[in-house]
Amino acid sequence: MDDRIEKDTMGEIKVPNDKYWAAQTQRSLENFPIGIEKMPKEIIKAFAYLKKSCAIVNFDLKKLPIEKKDVISKVCDEIIEGKLDDNFPLAVWQTGSGTQSNMNLNEVIASRATELLGKDFRVEKLIHPNDDVNKGQSSNDTYPSAMRIAFVLELQKQLIPSINKLKTTLENKTKEFEDIIKIGRTHLQDATPLTLGQEFSAYVEMLEKALNQIDDSMKYICELAIGGTAVGTGLNSHPDFSRLVCENLNINTNTNYKFISHPNKFHSLTSHDGEVFLSGALNALASNLMKMANDIRWLASGPRCGIGELNIPENEPGSSIMPGKVNPTQSEAMTMVAVQVMGNHTTVSISASQGNFELNVFKPVIAYNILQSIRLLSDTMKAFNDNCAVGISANNKNIEKYLNDSLMLVTALNPYIGYEKAALIAKTAHKNGTTLKEEALRLGILSEKEFEEYVKPQEMVRPKI
């Protein structure tokens, strides 16, 4: 493949002839051969939305001629559609402000725009990456704005629908299981009864809370740094630029949330507490998914030597040596996702603490981790829903056996005979391997009629006057 020579303020450098990027992108590509993690496509797409809005606003403010506005907008649309994906090769592990990715966008847009205007970008640039595409902007305000745009788009596109899908399934299961009375468990020990529907209702509430927490975080994430330029002062940017760009973004991105100009640009460049808030909501969701997945795999354990109160779908062989073994693989995948998201939250939290003076320089790793968390949580909930949750059924035989064998039904006797006598019945039954009823009668504490009147599991699953 032939190379061409591109120049920047550092001098000349060879660039692949078939790529639209230029010198600054190439320098980053060569100087940061770190890892395999590339700048997420979601960030590139968000940048394209931002650059398009900036070009439109610069035209409206009479800072950019219409032909440049139109061609920059057209290239941004191509980027949004994924037509230029192979022109964004940079690593996450680059400058902490994301400057090189901002310039990657600027260079690709400038070259492709020049081509659309009928000139060879390898020879001359009719659109300048800094003076035209980056007009009124800095990497310091565009990157944090782009990452927040990406978060909002991916939350709306992926995570929120996945939460709602699983929530609907679990709501249906809650209704399906509402009359199945089972034994509860606390401290991994037998406890008082509840319905299987009540147990599943907790999972529904977990997801409802996740939606609320994500929604709460949006009031911070939708505040954009654009217009702050280098240090928050807005140098080289029009006073109305930030507000107008946000208004244009709201039209172009068509999200359920509204972007606004951050009220304090100094805060927006150096602080990422909004990202910590969002990551915290994702972390809380991961914690709840971990709990739910563990519950379901424990309740489905067996098939003959475990708890076995639930039946889950059998999707694939579970062992290379044990014939017929089937494992709770969707729960296992979900719990692995959960610990990854928890780790990501730690990374985001530490990164956000590193805002020195007027700029935080951990932006790419913050963006990478939050986007990965959104993607993993979205994918695992869809997979868990489709390959596990919808197929969960109750093993009524085991549920009834455990309910009838439980000593904790004795709790229903507390109001009638007191804690001490009830405990004596339970301990004696456990020691002798007998039933509560047998020991209540043998100890002379209750008659058979009284026992059957007081101990009714169906009346123990809700408050009683």
Whether residue 323 has a cis bond before it, omega within 30° of 0: no
Reported confidence tier of residue 325, pLDDT bands at 50, 70, 90: very high
Q: Let me know whether 146 and 125 are in one domain.
A: no
Residue 237 belongs to some domain of the structure: no
Q: What is the CATH number of the domain that holds 270?
A: 1.20.200.10
pTM of the model: 0.97
Looking at residue 1, what is its pLDDT? 62
- Give the mean pLDDT of 74-90: 98
Residue 313, both tokens: 């779908």
One-letter-per-residue 3-state SS of 205-216: HHHHHHHHHHHH
| 440 and 385 co-located in one domain | no
In the annotation, is 319 catalytic? yes
Res. 326 pLDDT band, cuts 50 70 90: very high
Residues 415 and 289 in one domain: no
pLDDT, residue 278, reads 98
How many other C-beta atoms lie within 10 A of the C-beta of residue 47? 30
CA angle in degrees (0–180, nearest 5) for 100-40-266: 55
Answer yes or no: do 305 and 211 share one domain.
yes
Percent pLDDT > 90 in the chain is: 99
Q: How far is CA 325 from CA 146, 309, 424, in A?
A: 48, 18, 42
Residue with tokens 């904790």: 408
For 212, residues 6+ apart whose C-beta sits below 8 A from its C-beta are none
DSSP 385-454: HHHTGGG-EE-HHHHHHHHHH-GGGGGGGHHHHHHHHHHHHHHHHHHHT--HHHHHHHTTS--HHHHHHH
Tokens 């304090």 map to which residue? 264
Q: To the nearest whole number, what is the mean pLDDT of the chain? A: 97
pLDDT at position 271 over 90: yes
Domain end (from 135, 152, 168): 135
Cα maximum dimension of the chain? 103
187 is catalytic: yes
pLDDT digits (tens, 9 = 90+) for 368-402: 999 999 999 999 999 999 999 999 999 999 999 99
- Tell me what pLDDT residue 51 has: 98
- Stretch 52-75: mean pLDDT: 98
For range 176-195, the mean pLDDT: 98
Q: What is the mean pLDDT of residues 390-416?
A: 97
| Set 145, 272, 279, 319: catalytic member | 319
Active-site residue (options: 53, 111, 187, 378)? 187
Average pLDDT estimate for 291-312: 97
Which H or E run contains 74?
helix 66-80
260 and 373 part of one domain = yes
Q: Can you tell me the mean pLDDT for 427-443?
A: 97
- Non-local CB neighbours of 125 within 8 Å, separated by 6+ positions: 110, 111, 114
Q: For residue 140, count other CB atoms closer than 10 A to its CB.
A: 27
Residue pair 389/169 in contact by the 8 Å Cβ criterion: yes
In a domain, 287, yes or no: yes
Task: Look up residue 417 and give its amino acid.
Answer: I
- Average pLDDT on 73-90 reads 98
Burial category of 325 from C-beta neighbours within 10 Å (exposed 0-12, middle 13-18, buried 19 and up)? exposed
Closest CA to 92 of 281, 372, 380, 378: 372
Q: What is the pLDDT of residues 93-152, one digit of tens each?
A: 999 999 999 999 999 999 999 999 999 999 999 999 999 999 999 999 999 999 999 999
What whole-number distance in Å separates Cα of residue 132 and Cα of residue 59?
11
Q: Which residues are annotated as a binding site for substrate?
A: 97-99, 128-131, 138-140, 186, 320, 325-327
Q: Please indicate, yes or no, whether residues 148 and 260 belong to a single structural domain of this protein.
A: yes
- For residue 448, give the CATH number of its domain: 1.10.40.30
Which DSSP letter does residue 321 get?
S
**CA 280 to each of CA 203, 210, 394: distance values in angstroms, whole numbers, following the listed order:** 19, 10, 34
**278 and 386: one domain?**
yes
Domain boundary among 378, 397, 416: 397
Q: Are residues 127 and 25 in the same domain?
A: yes
Share of the chain above pLDDT 70, in %: 100
pLDDT of residue 465: 76
3-state secondary structure of 353: coil
Q: Give the pLDDT score at 464.
A: 84
Q: What pLDDT score does 317 carry?
A: 94
**Amino acid residing at 292:** M
Tell me if residue 291 falls in helix, strand or coil: helix
189, 320: one domain: yes
Same domain, 107 and 194: no
pLDDT at 240 over 90: yes
Mean pLDDT, range 15-19, rounded to an integer: 97
DSSP 157-217: IIIHHHHHHHHHHHHHHHHHTTT-EEEEEETTEEEEEEEHHHHHHHHHHHHHHHHHHHHHH
In our burial notation (b when 16+ CB lie closer than 10 A, e otherwise), range 264-294 reads ebebbbbbbebbbbbbbbbbbbbebbbebbe
Range of the domain at 302: 140-232+255-397
What is the count of structural domains for the chain?
A: 3
Please give the annotated binding residues, written as ranges: 97-99, 128-131, 138-140, 186, 320, 325-327
| Euclidean distance between CA atoms 57 and 79, whole angstroms | 19
Shared domain for 180 and 313, answered yes or no, is yes
Domain final position from 397, 431, 450 = 397
Residue 244 placed within a domain: no
Q: Classify strands 223-224 and 189-195 as parallel, antiparallel or unpaired.
A: unpaired
Report residue 219 as tokens: 């009031």
Asked if the structure places residue 465 within a domain, the reply is no
